[in-house]
Structure 1
């Protein structure tokens, strides 16, 4: 029998839930190993100074979660966890051939959503050089303080949907993905569960898995994350945080209505769940709904960066969070990815505060609209989701195409795209015969036209989906 005393001091949940959560966490951490026999309920109740009814309810909840099983006359034992889903077990994000593949090296890269080239290098390059001239010591040293200008720039960049964060809530980070992982590391512990929409930018979940967190999925739909399913997941799995892309979800392009945002915020509040809001595309919209950070500022971390609407090469972004968490996030960042690169962060702040970032963003959005018009024209007659300010198409494949088969056929024809499975958080219940075809990193509008014409030919000739079968 294992001598196990759960740690749940300070938990705000009912004791039986806190004990079941501690069991879940300790199983995830390896403290409780598969096959281990748990203490008898009466013994554990005595050790914890709680009633046997509390322990009975805790064991019952853990049994419902599939953590333990009891056998009459033998006791209660820890069950082995199911193996990680293949998508979360270290596969490449694109689910494609390695970057060294000759076919991929020669393909039209419609698998990336970095900001379109509108000549920003001619602005960024001289400004970056000027930073090294103006601040030679700081540019060659570790960043030890956060200047007020960086916070002001972050507040300006994060502003959306009628909301603008206070500068004193701003933390500079090295891009949105890094910032989200820093927040997860700061406010959760190894073994904790993090909820994600079932179709999303799954690198977020994979990054969380690398630091010992467990991804669980919430069903999505035409209006983004489903509040009813989120309520169910919270009651059943007790996630510690929700990571959500409410505006122009990647890849489905959904925009969550304000009513659903308010419902989700209320559910998260009742279940004590942090909201981590990825707003990487939110700044593209002039009429975006209010962000979660406006609706529920006390429990939301709002994150964005400049990779999509300014330059992916800058690797800069910001987090705005509830008061009192700045040092935790800064320390998590230092431990996980090191300090901030002074020159990159400084030049990004200068771009924002000088107005150059706004000018370049407007040019990028104009180019996205023009390229999207080409895609929509060529794909006319097929079913797809798009938005004039979104740099990709979410294309539904006609029968008998399957996403993986279509992706492979496209690559053989010279076009790299991403299939739906690469965005799934485990084995999603939602069937999605879709691919994402992006167009922002292609060199010219002519390349955009050529790429979508190739995809159109494949769509109209579904018989090739059977080629190569033996």
Structure 2
């Protein structure tokens, strides 16, 4: 251990965990810390700096991602100087990364890319296209979305560079500085970042096992005057909650009564195989539907869609033109001939099969029932009552296991005080053996009592 190293945080406006990481980087650069030096335990650092162990855990995670430390199972955390991308020091299965494995899609995408190259159509694929997509490409995506029970014409659909881009366009179109936008009490970080970027307040609506609570939604719409709700009806991230049909109808009715638009992020709809129609299919006048290929085919295919009624289309079109000069024609063209050949259906079916397989592995290894029966590469898991969430996360990290704590997703922190949850992602690697290994380590911590040293303040 680097006994002479004194953890410190200089006075800064940056978050404390980032300040600690920068201190590590500075001491490595100056030679105060050498390659192989063992860092003090996280609790000792937390006590020395008068911060929570969660702050130190977050700093260690960031340092690990930057490649300046490495974690060795059962031994601790060590300074690392050299190639930050060495394969041996990077876990190949990451339970905190919400993505999909590459192998189920690989044969279909390899064949499609080869076909695209043989067409020698660079003058078309690399030229400017209308910002909202060509009519042919919009017709292709409209045909695909009929599988989600959305009956629409190409004129009602716009192309985007993925779902996050679509959400950004909706913020740009409908949320202005000082406005309030509502979303689920747990939501993924991209929503809050868009709120910060647009200087919009993000307010939370409470949830139950079936998603948004319609009664609380009505209260929040009345209280805040919000005119936009962002929600996911099928396998919500992070909770995996899926709304039954009656709940979706109630959400649509409440928003219609208060004159609020629903931006429905249906990014997991295709993968999940959910047979309940999206909210937008129930009420086309109130809902705006967003979808993409990142969670059902590949995260690198930056192709998404926005479906909206004539009431909203002009405003969204103006936003898209401001945010992009040309549509993702390369990906749309590739997707088009994959759809015609049936490769899209086979690719998504392969991912559904793999996701369901991994949910079975999760149940077999951990002994815990997955939070959803639909195809999903992530689950929402309660932490045992005996554990404090920060200590549970820290204990997993000592074994090289990373998961995402519930408070990373909580819009209002009081929601996370009722009970501690974590999101566990099952798609962050292609090896089932490595997934089993990570889940076995998780089970060991899940079934253990907290160590005495980890519970003393």
* Shared fold, TM over 0.5: yes
Deviation at 1:337, TM superposition (A): 4.9
> Does 1:364 pair with 2:351?
yes
Does the Cα contact within 8 Å between 2:241 and 2:372 map onto a contact in 1? no
Deviations 1:184-210 (A, max 9, x none): 211232221110010122322322321
What is the Cα deviation at residue 303 of structure 1?
0.5
Judged with a 3 Å threshold, the aligned counterparts in structure 2 of structure 1 residues 143 and 163 are, in CA distance, closer, same or farther, namely closer
Matches within 5 A, 1:146-225: 146-160=133-147, 162-225=149-212
- Tell whether the 8 Å contact from 1:143 to 1:340 is kept in structure 2 after alignment: yes
Q: Aligned ranges for residues 69-468 of structure 1 at < 5 Å?
A: 96-97=61-62, 99-101=65-67, 102-103=69-70, 106-107=90-91, 108-128=93-113, 130-131=115-116, 133-144=119-130, 146-160=133-147, 162-380=149-367, 382=368, 385-429=371-415, 431-464=418-451, 466-467=453-454
- Can you list the C-alpha shifts for 1:22-73, whole angstroms capped at 9, x where unaligned? xxxxxxxxxxxxxxxxxxxxxxxxxxxxxxxxxxxxxxxxxxxxxxxxxxxx
**Could you tell me how far 1:363 is from its partner in structure 2?**
0.6
CA distance in structure 1 between the partners assigned to 2:252 and 2:61 by the alignment: 36
Give the secondary-structure state (helix, strand or coil) at the position aligned to 2:97. coil
- Displacement of 1:135 in angstroms is 2.1
Go from structure 1 to structure 2 and tell me whether the alpha carbon gap of 1:288 and 1:168 turns closer, same or farther (over 3 Å shift): same
2 CA distance for matches of 1:168 and 1:148?
Answer: 8
Runs of 5+ consecutive residues of structure 2 not aligned to the other structure:
1-57, 72-88
Contact persistence 1:400–1:465 (CA under 8 A):
no
Quote the offset at 1:403 in angstroms. 2.8
Q: State the SS of the aligned residue for 2:322.
A: helix
C-alpha spacing 1:348/1:113, structure 2 compared with 1 (3 Å) = farther
Over residues 134-169 of structure 1, what are the superposed CA-to-partner deviations in whole Å (9 max), with x where a residue is unaligned? 421233333236223321232233335533333221
Query: C-alpha root-mean-square deviation of aligned residues, in Å?
Result: 2.6
How far off its partner does 1:419 sit? Answer: 0.8
Distance 1:448 1:371 in 2: 9
- 8 Å CA contact 1:247–1:288 kept in 2: the answer is no
Report if aligned partners of 2:159, 2:328 keep a CA contact under 8 Å in 1. Answer: no
Q: Supply the distance in 2 between the matched residues of 1:95 and 1:421 (Cα, whole angstroms).
A: 17
Q: 1:277 deviation in Å? A: 0.3
Deviation of the 1:418 alpha carbon: 0.7
Q: CA deviation at 1:211?
A: 1.6
Q: CA deviation at 1:285?
A: 4.0
Once residues 96 and 155 of structure 1 are traced to their aligned partners in structure 2, the CA distance between those partners, rounded to angstroms, is: 42
Q: CA deviation at 1:358?
A: 0.8
Q: Answer yes or no: is the 8 Å Cα contact 1:202–1:425 preserved in 2.
A: no
Alpha-carbon deviation of 1:338?
4.8
Once the two structures are TM-superposed, the CA of residue 293 in structure 1 deviates from its matched residue by 0.9
TM-score (norm 1): 0.74
Q: Is residue 108–residue 347 contact of structure 2 (8 Å, CA) maintained in 1? A: no
Corresponding residue pairs, total: 378
Deviation at 1:426, TM superposition (A): 2.8
Q: CA deviation at 1:427?
A: 2.2
Q: Is the 8 A contact 2:206 2:213 kept in 1?
A: yes
* Counterpart for residue 47 of structure 2: none
- TM-score, structure 2 length as denominator? 0.76
Query: Contact 2:179–2:201 (CA<8 Å) still a contact in 1?
Result: yes
In structure 2, the residue matched to 1:65 is none
Secondary structure at the aligned position of 1:159 is classed as helix
Asked whether the 8 Å contact 1:182–1:332 carries over to 2, the reply is: yes
Q: Does structure 2 retain, via aligned residues, the 8 Å contact 1:160–1:290?
A: no
State the alpha-carbon separation in 2 of the partners of residues 354 and 96 from structure 1. Answer: 43
Deviations along 1:64-103, one digit per CA (max 9) or x if unpaired, are xxxxxxxxxxxxxxxxxxxxxxxxxxxxx99952531444
Q: What secondary structure, in the 3-state scheme, does the structure 1 residue paired with 2:270 have?
A: helix
Q: 1:401 to 1:322 in 2, by over 3 A?
A: same
Q: Provide the C-alpha distance between the structure 2 equivalents of 1:136 and 1:242, rounded to a whole number of angstroms.
A: 40
Q: Is the 8 A contact 2:160 2:328 kept in 1?
A: no
> What is the Cα deviation at residue 468 of structure 1?
8.9
CA distance in structure 2 between the partners assigned to 1:248 and 1:205 by the alignment: 19
Give 1:334 deviation, angstroms. 3.7
1:119 Cα deviation after fit: 4.8
CA distance in 1, matches of 2:382, 2:289: 31
Q: Give how far 1:448 is off.
A: 1.4
